[in-house]
Structure 1
Amino acid sequence: MATRKAPAKKSAAKKSVAKKSPAKKSTTPPSRRWSAKVDTDSTHPDHELFLQSAPKIAKALADKRVSPKGPASGMRMLNFYINRAGKNLSKERVATLERAKELLSKIIAKSKEKTPAKKSAPKKAAKKSASKKLPSR
């Protein structure tokens, strides 16, 4: 008679819960970080600018002091604010900000009319290189 082996029992493995590791603290002192050296606020709009009227918002965002790269930079700031606020904006605020976008786009169009596009220098034709003929054998 052959002896039969009993089926192996499945062991109940203990579920271990992964412990959250504490957040790593920076070893660099705050005074040595690059962000401590930033001293310009040229691209920061005035406090509560987006709570003002549409013409004031558009005029401020077109100003070189707020957006030194031009009014298009101000348009990006306004779009970022609208997208970031999302559903937290009331319908009235959204309407005001959309009106500010329209006014700002008109300012951008006017600034493009004033400064014509720079004409690039005419392109020179590529020089043809003299190809050497190989002697036939």
Structure 2
Amino acid sequence: MKRFVVAALLVVGITTYAQVKRESPQQSNIERMSPEERQEKQIKRMTAELNLNSTQQFQIKQLLADQSANREKKINRNDLSKAEKKDKRETKIRKIQENQKIMEEKMTAILSPEQFTTWKTNQEKIKQKVANRVKDKRDGTLRNEIEN
């Protein structure tokens, strides 16, 4: 009887633990911040990393505000076929790449050459971190699918 009770408690404990969704502390903080708070945090980080002066801070703040406004406009979730989703994804990728080039051109106008190289290396590090997270997430979902 004791073994049955212990086994039942173990099964209940494992199933309830499996249902808990884990979020990274960084992700939960990002979701709670407003776009303005995220911009301020990003400007503070860039000021510390790049030693920006007040004019550069103001220009970058305007640039980030424009980006945020454009991003909010583009958020659109539609039910599409696979081919339409693929086409839409490809056009989004092209637009993102174009926007990145435009952003880079604007940053070269705002920042000094030393600041720009520092900013560029920081952007590459961020891209690498995101790529690693995506890879880890895909590997985790693939493992989960294989296990189930």
Q: TM-score range by the shorter chain?
A: under 0.3
Q: Say which one has the larger Rg.
A: 1
Q: TM-score normalised to the size of structure 1?
A: 0.26
Is the helix fraction higher in 1 or 2? 2
Higher relative contact order (CA 8 A, sep 6+): 2
